[in-house]
Structure 1
């Protein structure tokens, strides 16, 4: 994706397209077209959006009709007004503007008015959607992680929660009825051993859903053995069951290479079918270690891969390098994608292209309408296909369909060149694309001269080629931007799920696994001791079971007391990653736990709002201690409205939390800065 921020790039595309439309009317002698262009920017540029008011539509109507009725400007200029109406609750008036255009002017300019209105509406809506998708990417990742945390918590509570409860019940029964110690302790030991095995299995399962940690471990092992290692990860996470088998293949291959100690270079590569989720994911390990006669350490894994619908192949390259390649079906990946915006972009592109086709067919001789329409439909199909990739074959076919029919259809076919200019801008770097577009425009000029067209008509066709190309490019580029953003957002959500599973795996192994292992050890020890000493061990088991239940809550995603300082550092990291300059100044003393928890929560919500609902470039986070109070302030320069988001449930929740502490939440807006403040008394009054 471009290094330019995506929302800014989207708005720049819209401005260029609107400027192209305006140039047509300016060249025709309408100075009011520049005014109409300036008014339209209010709907596109963020700093001007505060001027979106009903009176703006009135001014646009005055400018549009003054130009068309008073200065004989083409009624196509009314498309700016029609597009603006479609963007507001007054959209039912847009068809009336189209009707008035048909009454005032000929059919061709009236169609142009409808096309301009659709382009203005569609590009502006797509730009807003780009803003929304771009801003919501972090929120979606957080939601995906929270959902995965809830799923993990349910699984663990159903399994380990009942196991720990059974252990505690059994130990209490032994302490209350020593005569049943042998019988009950046997059951407790079995339960503890089963729970420990389940914990280790669950940890391995959560870890195995991702191949990335195993690749990191493999790199560490090889590097420690003096093997130069290169990792090329091209798969999507999480992999699910496929990850476990591929991780086993990688682990066995790397272990064998280290054991032989003959390899000096190793390349680990993963790829996945890019067509759609559910394709094949492939792992390839290549190293320069020579194989031995007793190779067969992967035979069992090869059978497992075959049973799972995949396969494993080993062989030697021409240079004598050993290659191990394993492939498995990726498995279904749940999509969090919202196809609405992408469908809108495709539908809008199809509608605009259809409008251009109708305009062209109006001047085609009746005897040639059918073949001309067939060629136009083929061109439209190629344009839709280009959305999914920059296909050179489609571009070559469009070039042929642009120039070969000109001797047959004459000047009616000159407008088709704009359909070629748009994909050219999309397919090549601008240093190459713009000279090619200039060549396309020159070809239109030469064709017009050869056809004997008047100079004004020649200029009109040449300029229209550029404008049509910009419109097509804008629609295609925004459609791709929306699609790429959605894919990036989904990838971020999948990464959050993987991170949550890896966190659960770490906690299961380090916390719950340790507690269960200690419980098992104590129970087995109690079985071999006399009743007096066994009782002391069993009392320890009860305490350990209570600790294990607390560990289970942590593994399930439960949070301990929040730290305002830690939350501030986390906020700094997130904001800096979003290219926002941060000023952090914490000047508060030690706070009661209740106050620190609430202020940390306020800070988290404030930073989330900065990321989601503003265009901030600077953010200041400060705390100050007064007489019996502490004050947190979060300021940013990306204000969109004076009151923030009054309907936000997050702000409402924070207000309620602070009110419970006799504190208060405030917002203020001045000089382009938005400030959220939270004040709470310290210490907290009793009750």
Structure 2
């Protein structure tokens, strides 16, 4: 960003100096350019700066003065600088005002150029240049903040992705053990009554308790160790999420269709363990995961560029040996090791199986479609790159080439634009592939041929080629080639007899355009990543909170079930020898099983004492990570545990619903006393319409067992309060809980 902005400034400075080197002529320009850059880099483009307030408006006025004032003194040499003001307008003012003023600045600058030169084509050129510079300023300034936001979001996603996996285990535990523990409780009560007079019957009940407790303990261990039915789609989605969070460029394709349970589970295990080993033992930057149905069976292949020696796996580990054993158990094969082109390849093939385990044909069900990048990144990149093409077309029109030569040059300009827009800047494009390298060659041809064949150094979009090299190649190769293109652009001007300004222009424009292509391509990708991250954060936020309750479940129930098993075995031995003692042990079994059942239900439904302070802090962090401006005002107050838990639950569900169902940009959270009533207010500007009309504010009805407004209303009513939720007249959505002191 600094290099690109500096390039614009240096370009303007050289025109000023070319007119005159007198101090009185140069000093005002130097002062204005310095102030402009300080404001741009130190305020407008700073991620932590709040530019939409009085300070931001004042800074915008100062920026307008140092950008527009010198036009009267320096004329054409200063016509690129209003682009900075146009970009800052987009950063400070909200739509549509920002975009309207942006268009007016570009049009006014073009008109000023027309008044200076009376050449319509130059007016078009300057209008386009101003708009392009404005979008570059806006896009790169947002990029700086997006880098930070994406790092925070990825870090949180990495933890929450793991949380989702662990919660899945907790959910399985609840499903498995709710019935088992209820059965143990009922049978222990029955055995207690049977011990005095019907010992044979009591022994049978104890034997069944022992079987149930042993099976339940095995279920706990099985679920906690991930030995259960797995979903291949879930594992592929999880792999994509975790690898993206680890900044690995990942491509996932699945055309395996519907699979039998055993096949699906084994392939999902291969994906999980392969990705885990990649993250633990390699330094991969790219990873391709492909699941396909073939004539021989179903294949899963994981290829990454982080080559490493095959680690020695323990016989009882979950590594390559264990995966091989699981795949071979279904009659399949698994291979792992370095492959061609410095890649590491894990490949498993499982023959077609029916649900009962016999081989059968599988019907592929191709998955297609990838999420489009959000419009903002796409529109900025498209507008800027198209602007570069328009500027290139202006140079074609004013060139001295024959009509056939101009047609050829224009075709090359359009081809360059099509390659960059249609391939190199697309987030989902596989630019580091044989196709990508071939298209780089084509882009180089259409960049250099017009200038060389028509002897005009201004023909050819060298910056688009330079930026695409940075996008498509690793730094150790891309950077040298980038600088080679930059040098070549200046040398071409020099060989064609250009002066110092022309040669400097060739260097600067290629550097600027190249870095902008690279940055906006990354911006487009990062906006897409952040959009997906926000959706995932909304889904995973509740997961992370519920994990707090689930994290001790295995240890807790492992102990409880072991205790039930031991006490049942002891009771079996005591039934004949000491019935009274047997009944005492059965009482202990009942206590343990009831407590374990309560623990399962409490963990699974999150009914425990919550910390309101933790929930507020969590809400602030989550909203900030989701690019939502949040304000929190909390009055210090001592609350009973039940009230604190209810308010924490209201806040948690309110924030989760906000992220899932609204398009909010601002949210306010307030906890205060109003006339003897404790009020929790959650307000946001992401109003969702129902049937095209704004919903009236409503008081949620009591009832229902869901986790939404009805369930929250029940909980608030339980502590003597009321809860309201809905859209208000000023187009904000308010969730409000009121509880009497």
Match of 1:542 in 2: 590
Match of 1:16 in 2: 3
Q: Indicate if the aligned counterparts of 2:457 and 2:493 stay in contact, CA closer than 8 A.
A: no
Does residue 204 (structure 1) correspond to residue 222 (structure 2)? The answer is yes
Does residue 173 (structure 1) correspond to residue 177 (structure 2)? The answer is no
Does residue 440 (structure 1) correspond to residue 485 (structure 2)? The answer is yes
Separation of aligned partners in 1, 2:47 and 2:418: 35
Match of 1:241 in 2: 265
After TM superposition, the structure 1 = structure 2 runs for residues 445-594 of structure 1, keeping only pairs within 5 Å, are 445-453=490-498, 456-479=501-524, 506-507=554-555, 510-522=558-570, 524-525=572-573, 531-549=579-597, 552=600
Separation of aligned partners in 2, 1:157 and 1:297: 28
Match of 1:418 in 2: 463
Partner residue of 1:100 out of 97, 108, 113: 108
Rate the CA distance shift 1:46–1:198 in 2: closer, same or farther, 3 A. Answer: same
Partner residue of 2:393 out of 343, 361, 369: 361
* Shift in Å, 1:357: 0.9
SS in 1 for 2:69: helix
Partner residue of 1:383 out of 381, 400, 420: 420
Once the two structures are superposed, what CA deviation does each residue of 1:118-167 show, in whole Å capped at 9, x if it has no partner?
11112222322222222334544555566556554444334312322232
Match of 1:640 in 2: none
After TM superposition, the structure 1 stretch with the greater mean CA deviation from structure 2, 480-489 or 201-210, is 480-489
Match of 2:704 in 1: none
Separation of aligned partners in 2, 1:647 and 1:464: 42
List gaps (5 residues or longer) in structure 2.
17-28, 114-122, 229-247, 253-262, 275-279, 293-299, 304-308, 315-320, 340-344, 352-363, 398-402, 628-664, 679-740
Match of 2:451 in 1: 406
Partner residue of 1:275 out of 284, 288, 291: 288
Separation of aligned partners in 2, 1:610 and 1:399: 44
The Cα RMSD (Å) is: 5.6
Once the two structures are superposed, what CA deviation does each residue of 1:190-225 show, in whole Å capped at 9, x if it has no partner?
355235324423432342379xxxxxxxxxxxxxxx
Rate the CA distance shift 1:156–1:184 in 2: closer, same or farther, 3 A. Answer: farther
Separation of aligned partners in 2, 1:248 and 1:446: 53
Relative contact order higher in (CA < 8 Å, ≥ 6 apart)? 1
Does residue 311 (structure 1) correspond to residue 333 (structure 2)? The answer is yes
Q: Indicate if the aligned counterparts of 2:170 and 2:553 stay in contact, CA closer than 8 A.
A: no
* Shift in Å, 1:85: 1.5
Rate the CA distance shift 1:28–1:305 in 2: closer, same or farther, 3 A. Answer: farther
Separation of aligned partners in 2, 1:416 and 1:460: 13
Rate the CA distance shift 1:556–1:423 in 2: closer, same or farther, 3 A. Answer: same
Does residue 36 (structure 1) correspond to residue 39 (structure 2)? The answer is no
Separation of aligned partners in 1, 2:376 and 2:489: 32
Separation of aligned partners in 1, 2:424 and 2:227: 35
Match of 2:153 in 1: 136
* Shift in Å, 1:389: 4.6
Q: Indicate if the aligned counterparts of 1:83 and 1:120 stay in contact, CA closer than 8 A.
A: yes
After TM superposition, the structure 1 stretch with the greater mean CA deviation from structure 2, 276-285 or 19-28, is 276-285
Match of 1:118 in 2: 135
Separation of aligned partners in 1, 2:290 and 2:336: 26
Q: Indicate if the aligned counterparts of 1:504 and 1:556 stay in contact, CA closer than 8 A.
A: no
Match of 1:82 in 2: 86
Once the two structures are superposed, what CA deviation does each residue of 1:425-461 show, in whole Å capped at 9, x if it has no partner?
5567878766655543443333234444565444433
Q: Indicate if the aligned counterparts of 1:313 and 1:326 stay in contact, CA closer than 8 A.
A: yes
Separation of aligned partners in 2, 1:603 and 1:177: 53
After TM superposition, the structure 1 stretch with the greater mean CA deviation from structure 2, 173-182 or 31-40, is 173-182
TM-score norm. by structure 2 comes to 0.56
Does residue 26 (structure 1) correspond to residue 13 (structure 2)? The answer is yes
* Shift in Å, 1:112: 0.5
TM-score norm. by structure 1 comes to 0.60
Rate the CA distance shift 1:198–1:21 in 2: closer, same or farther, 3 A. Answer: farther
Separation of aligned partners in 1, 2:517 and 2:284: 33
Q: Indicate if the aligned counterparts of 2:431 and 2:471 stay in contact, CA closer than 8 A.
A: no
After TM superposition, the structure 1 stretch with the greater mean CA deviation from structure 2, 478-487 or 406-415, is 478-487
Q: Indicate if the aligned counterparts of 2:87 and 2:133 stay in contact, CA closer than 8 A.
A: yes
Rate the CA distance shift 1:70–1:376 in 2: closer, same or farther, 3 A. Answer: same
Q: Indicate if the aligned counterparts of 1:82 and 1:98 stay in contact, CA closer than 8 A.
A: yes
* Shift in Å, 1:326: 4.7
SS in 2 for 1:517: helix
